[in-house]
Amino acid sequence: MVKICCIGAGYVGGPTMAVIALKCPDIEVAVVDISVGRINAWNSDQLPIYEPGLDEVVKQCRGKNLFFSTDVEKHVSEADIVFVSVNTPTKTQGLGAGKAADLTYWESAARMIADVSKSDKIVVEKSTVPVKTAEAIEKILTHNSKGINFQILSNPEFLAEGTAIQDLFNPDRVLIGGRETPEGQKAIKALRDVYAHWVPVERIICTNLWSAELSKLAANAFLAQRISSVNAMSALCEATGADVTEVSHAVGKDTRIGPKFLNASVGFGGSCFQKDILNLVYICECNGLPEVANYWKQVIKVNDYQKTRFVNRVVSSMFNTVSGKKIAILGFAFKKDTGDTRETPAIDVCKGLLGDKAHLSIYDPQVSGEQIQRDLAMKKFDWDHPIHLQPLSPTSVKQVSVVWDAYTATKDAHGICILTEWDEFKSLDYKKIYDNMQKPAFVFDGRNVVDAEKLREIGFIVYSIGKPLDAWLKDMPAVA
């Protein structure tokens, strides 16, 4: 029986391995992690991450051919294929701080693999890494190998949170990069055989190592660039009276452009877009390509601009101050159907409003108060280090309360900011909410989820990203 071990039981390692176990009953899969809490949660009824459909997949295989364990060394030494799916956050200190990927966790995993291995292994980069990482990993493994043969493959993951199981069941493509030697090709075939249990072979793309590594960074950069493009347009729409939804629709109808990923928003978030683009920028700079670096940097600058623009819109609309005012924040996760808050635009928007002395009442159906408090107190880039290495929850940020339903959050509020597109925000009883708010009552829809016309009929002053402005808002222009 082929044995797989995955180092890192996070958002990628957990769901990916659960699906491999489900689709490949002839393979034994062990997911290992140094975080005892995370592994305990994977072995309980309350999984450590919220992902639609994940519970069922885990329930079907756990204890049969899927195991979660903290015995990292045992499972690595027994495995034929070792996936490495550990954090690759942005460096916070030293050379390349604020841009380069921090490969500390990857390197320590590689050294451990070399230490405990007694048989040949295929080592698979699942984490997103800088192009050429495989070369460094190869060096670590071969210099410490005691004669064991390691083949390195790059097999980046393209799943999106909230749809991880769907994406894994039916991926657009699986990408496998390896050495162009007979041994490298043999390793590629072994991994292709795993995916071929359920992925049509024409969707399994095999390349050289560097193409696979770079394709992952490129894919995330292209996706984020689309959002920054539409968000840049949203500012121009507000200035001209065009409607960004109509513009996106018209642009996306061109089959060369396509309709997906053209929703204007308060900004993109999530653990990867910013981190991976910063990493790409750093690699370009290191390779003497400042023009290319600046081109991609602009995607992040526009994203920051969009968040600042939103905060300024809120403050300027409310008579240029939110000091002492209650603002309800609906949604804190970086997108719907996940409890993940890493690099969520809500952090920057909340910090911006707190900077203007607002009182925030925050509601998100999947994010705990403790997490929100930690996020609002955390330093930039700390969020993507392993949980057990993150700062313990500090004292709560005063002026912030976290509540468990939208009606409590909005009671007596002066304004509402919608920052995540949770479906439930579409069907709230906005009449009831309006009646319980201070007047004039404002809604700032950072995700274009509400029916603005209906809300205006109720009496709200409504701001929707990239849509023609209410007369009130026109009179109070926001400067980003």
Ligand X SMILES: NC(=O)C1=CN([C@@H]2O[C@H](COP(=O)(O)OP(=O)(O)OC[C@H]3O[C@@H](n4cnc5c(N)ncnc54)[C@H](O)[C@@H]3O)[C@@H](O)[C@H]2O)C=CC1
Ligand Y SMILES: O=C(O)[C@H]1O[C@H](OP(=O)(O)OP(=O)(O)OC[C@H]2O[C@@H](n3ccc(=O)[nH]c3=O)[C@H](O)[C@@H]2O)[C@H](O)[C@@H](O)[C@@H]1O
In angstroms, give the least distance from the CB of 345 to ligand Y: 7
Residue choice 41, 108, 136, 158 for contact with ligand Y (CB under 6 A): 158
> What six digits make up the tokens of 217?
């960074």
CA angle 266, 271, 272 (to 5 degrees): 95
Nearest-approach distance from CB 335 to ligand X, in angstroms:
10
Site for ligand X in 20-79 (CB under 6 A): 33-35, 38, 72
List all residues 6 or more positions away from 471 whose beta carbon is below 8 Å from its beta carbon.
Answer: none
Strand partners, 328: 361, 416
**Total chain residues near ligand X (CB under 6 A):** 27
Which residue's CB is nearer to ligand X, number 15 or number 415?
A: 15
For 197, other C-beta atoms within 10 Å of its C-beta total 13
Q: 55: closest CA among 22, 8, 29? A: 22
- Residue 7 interacts, among ligand X, ligand Y, none and using kind-specific CB cut-offs from 5 to 8 Å, with ligand X
Phi and psi at 312, nearest 5°, equal -65, -35
- d(CA 376, CA 382) in angstroms, rounded, equals 12
- Going through 107-257 in order, the beta strands assigned E by DSSP cover 121-125, 150-154, 174-178, 204-208
Residue 213 CB neighbour total at 10 angstroms: 24
# of chain residues touching ligand Y (CB under 6 A): 21
Stretch that binds ligand Y, among 22-30, 41-49, 251-259, 266-274 (CB under 6 A): 266-274
Question: Which residues ranging from 234 to 263 are in contact with ligand Y (CB under 6 A)?
Answer: 261-263
Q: Quick one: 215 or 263, whose CB is closer to ligand Y?
A: 263
Catalytic choice (272, 284, 350, 417): 272
| Shortest Å, Cβ 370 to ligand X | 17
Does 101 interact with ligand Y (rule: CB under 6 A)? no
CB atoms within 10 A of CB 397: 17
Structure tokens at 317: 């609309």
Give CA torsion, residues 403, 408, 410, 413, to 10 deg: -90
Active site residue 286: no
Count of Cβ atoms closer than 10 Å to residue 3 Cβ: 15
CB of 262 to ligand Y, least distance (A): 6
Q: For the window 81-120, what string marks contact with ligand X as x by the rule CB under 6 A?
A: ----xxxx----------------x--xx-----------
What residues numbered 122-181 form the site for ligand X, per CB under 6 A?
127-128, 157, 159, 161
Residue nearest to ligand X (CB): 10
In contact, 386 and 127? CB cutoff 8 Å: no
- Residues in contact with ligand X by CB under 6 A are 7-13, 33-35, 38, 72, 85-88, 105, 108-109, 127-128, 157, 159, 161, 271-272, 386
- Residues in contact with ligand Y by CB under 6 A are 128, 157-161, 220, 223, 227, 261-263, 265, 268-273, 334-335
Catalytic site positions: 272
